[in-house]
């Protein structure tokens, strides 16, 4: 929750800073217990500014000062503004372009187009009310089963970052999740559901045998590959998750 905002501020300083007065560092609670004991820290995450107390960059504050990141809602711009105040330098944020959003929007458009197509088909058959109720039910189920409401209630960050600063789609562990995780999982669930509907409802209606066989293989490939990737996601969240299919 705090790693990516700090890395974005660090990238900004590397590109725009005029000197080397600032250094950014992260400490891992699992491997640096001695440092935590020395600083008398008993919980994470924490953000502490250590102003220089000697030399040409000596600041007006002599002692380390903690930034209340919870009050700032882990917002990178707010952190940068607060650190600028504490350290007497101009800080901003440098957020790399997130390619996952356009891909997610494309997936939403594809799924949405399929839903609209099905609505149109049912409208032509006089089943509009039933179709609308079905679509709303499916959307509600996908939102609840993917963790969307949990993310909204806990104000989870939309996306994370690896230690190298690259965008991270999934947060390891089942105690926290990113907003983008719910979108990805919802899309995967939707693909699985569409595949099953295609195999059980639409494929049997195809009269041409060759085309029917081809569509069976298409929907099976979509279903198996999607389910395999879902298992990968589950193992990222819970390393002891025992099931897998095709993908390691």
pLDDT by residue for the chain (248 residues), tens only, comes to 788 888 889 989 988 876 778 889 888 777 888 888 888 888 888 888 888 877 777 766 677 888 888 888 888 889 999 888 888 888 998 887 767 778 778 888 888 888 778 777 766 666 666 777 777 887 788 777 777 777 777 777 888 776 666 777 888 777 778 888 888 888 888 889 889 998 998 899 998 999 999 999 999 999 999 999 888 888 888 878 888 888 87
- The answer to whether residues 58 and 52 touch, using CB atoms and an 8 Å cutoff, is yes
Predicted pLDDT at 163:
65
Question: CA geometry: angle at 228 spanning 223 and 231, to 5°?
Answer: 130
Q: Which pLDDT value is given to residue 124?
A: 64
SS3 state at 214? helix
pLDDT at 60: 66
Would you tell me the crossing angle of helices 100-124 and 179-197 to the nearest 10 degrees? 40
Model pTM greater than 0.85? no
Specify the length of the chain in residues: 248
Predicted pLDDT of residue 97: 74
What is the model's pLDDT at position 200? 92
What pLDDT was estimated at residue 135?
Answer: 77
Q: How far apart are the first and last CA of the chain?
A: 28
Q: What is the largest CA-CA distance in the chain?
A: 83
């Amino acid at each position: 929750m705090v790693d990516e905002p700090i890395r974005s501020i660090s990238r900004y300083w590397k590109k725009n800073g005029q000197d080397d007065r600032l250094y950014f560092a992260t400490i891992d609670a699992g491997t640096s217990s001695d440092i935590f004991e020395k600083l008398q820290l008993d919980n994470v995450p924490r953000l502490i500014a250590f102003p220089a107390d000697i030399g040409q960059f000596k600041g007006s504050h002599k002692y380390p000062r903690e930034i209340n990141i919870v009050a700032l809602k882990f917002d990178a711009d707010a952190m940068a503004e607060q650190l600028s105040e504490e350290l007497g330098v101009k800080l901003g944020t440098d957020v790399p372009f997130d390619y996952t959003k356009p891909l997610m929007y494309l997936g939403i458009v594809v799924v949405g187009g399929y839903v609209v197509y099905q609505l149109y088909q049912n409208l032509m058959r006089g089943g509009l009310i039933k179709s609308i109720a079905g679509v709303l039910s499916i959307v509600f189920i996908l939102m609840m089963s993917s963790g969307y409401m949990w993310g909204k209630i806990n104000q989870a960050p939309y996306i994370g970052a690896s230690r190298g600063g690259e965008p991270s789609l999934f947060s390891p562990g089942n105690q926290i999740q990113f907003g983008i995780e719910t979108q990805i999982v919802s899309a995967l669930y939707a693909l699985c559901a569409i595949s099953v509907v295609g195999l059980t409802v639409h494929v049997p209606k195809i009269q041409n045998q060759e085309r029917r066989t081809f569509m069976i293989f298409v929907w099976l490939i979509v279903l198996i590959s999607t389910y395999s990737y879902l298992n990968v996601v589950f193992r990222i969240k819970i390393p002891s998750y025992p099931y897998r299919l095709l993908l390691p």
